[in-house]
Amino acid sequence: MKRFMKWAALLAMMSLLLGGLTACDSSSEPENNAVSGNWYRVDGSEITTIKLNAEGGGSLAGSPVSYTLSDDGTSLSLTIGEETFDLSIEEDVTYGTVLKSDGTVYALRDKAAAKGLAENGRPSTYADILIGTWYGYTGASGLSELTFSEDGLVETNGATASYTIEDDKVTLSKDGSTYVLYIAEDATQGWILKDVNGNPEVWKDPEAAKTYGKDPEAAKTAGKAVPSDVEAYIGVWDAERLSYQGRDLTTEEVGMEFYFEIKEDGTAVAVTNGEPDGDATWTYNKDGTITLKDSTGELDPFFIDEEGFLHVILQADNGKIEFYCKKR
């Protein structure tokens, strides 16, 4: 049996839809433009992400949006629902790259600045975030501390080095040697400093350092609701939306009805537009996830999050596609 045969067809369709390919000619894929990517709207302490693609579309909280970019790339008309906003693209001395409406900041490009604005009423820079003490896990001896000061010095274990910062890149220097770290915010681990390979080295939150420093695999299941009973999985799950290459779409947007049935007898089936796609078996794991297996092997574990969505994760050619399914 092929792994969910029509899922493969679905993934191909998604690649065409999201990548903007035509007639298998990859050279026709549109390039990013001045506004494609993420923008962050701040309303009080709340931050909402607007995701724009290069084809004049995008999403806001799972709902579709569209936009028209001016010929000179300095302004756009953004349509959300029945409202259209005329926005200019500007460099603001305080907020960095922004979208403005009648001179007022509408959305920020820099997530750190948006986060600082939401928390403190002013934007944060990566330099603001860096200053202070970070924590690394050292095993049985506990936590080590790495303290960055505003004068360009960093101290750890009684030793002092210098550092420079450029955007999210932090370069530590001592005795002619350098070491590069990158500032990043992780949804489960908080603010982290990563090495050039993307591995977390130190954490802003000491509790996160203890948890994820001791067990790096814990980050993969953090934030997942662990069902108290295997029965939580059994039933029919309807896909409401999906995420692929950083873009969120509803199943309605892609013209698809998809559900996933997990049966008590240890089998499972996916159904797309009313037709069964294939069979698999499943097992319940002690960490509260389930693993599906067919003739080609095991899929990534499925899990139920704190909001009650079943996450169905599949491998596509250019990354993973994740479905968010609600139980009937």
Per-residue pLDDT, averaged over 52-65, amounts to 86
Indicate whether 202 belongs to any domain: yes
Indicate whether 16 belongs to any domain: no
Per-residue pLDDT, averaged over 146-156, amounts to 92
Indicate whether 179 belongs to any domain: yes
Indicate whether 24 belongs to any domain: no
The total number of structural domains in the chain stands at: 3
Domain co-membership, 35 together with 115: yes
Domain co-membership, 242 together with 321: yes
Domain co-membership, 109 together with 36: yes
- The per-residue pLDDT for 25 is 40
- Domain limit, last residue, from 168, 189, 221: 221
| 212 φ, ψ (degrees, to nearest 5) | -90, -20
Tell which wins on pLDDT, 62 or 10.
62
Question: For the segment 38-53, what is each residue's pLDDT rounded down to a tens digit?
Answer: 899 988 888 888 989 8
- The per-residue pLDDT for 6 is 43
Domain co-membership, 307 together with 284: yes
Domain co-membership, 43 together with 91: yes
- Domain limit, last residue, from 122, 144, 164: 122
Domain co-membership, 99 together with 178: no
Domain co-membership, 143 together with 216: yes
Tell which wins on pLDDT, 15 or 141.
141
The reported pTM is 0.41
What tokens appear for 137 in the block? 């896990």
Tell which wins on pLDDT, 166 or 32.
166
Domain co-membership, 93 together with 35: yes
Domain with residue 157: its CATH number is 2.40.128
Question: For the segment 282-320, what is each residue's pLDDT rounded down to a tens digit?
Answer: 998 877 888 888 766 787 888 887 778 888 877 665 556
Domain co-membership, 195 together with 240: no
Domain co-membership, 107 together with 42: yes
Residue 18 pLDDT greater than 70, yes or no:
no
- Domain limit, last residue, from 187, 221, 255: 221
- The per-residue pLDDT for 5 is 37
Domain co-membership, 323 together with 229: yes
Range with lowest mean pLDDT among 87-91, 143-147, 202-206, 310-314? 310-314
Indicate whether 106 belongs to any domain: yes
Q: Which structural domain range is residue 76 located in?
A: 31-122
Indicate whether 181 belongs to any domain: yes
Domain co-membership, 85 together with 49: yes
Indicate whether 21 belongs to any domain: no
- Residues of the chain with pLDDT > 70, as a percent, come to 78
Indicate whether 216 belongs to any domain: yes
Residue 98 pLDDT greater than 60, yes or no:
yes
Tell which wins on pLDDT, 103 or 169.
169
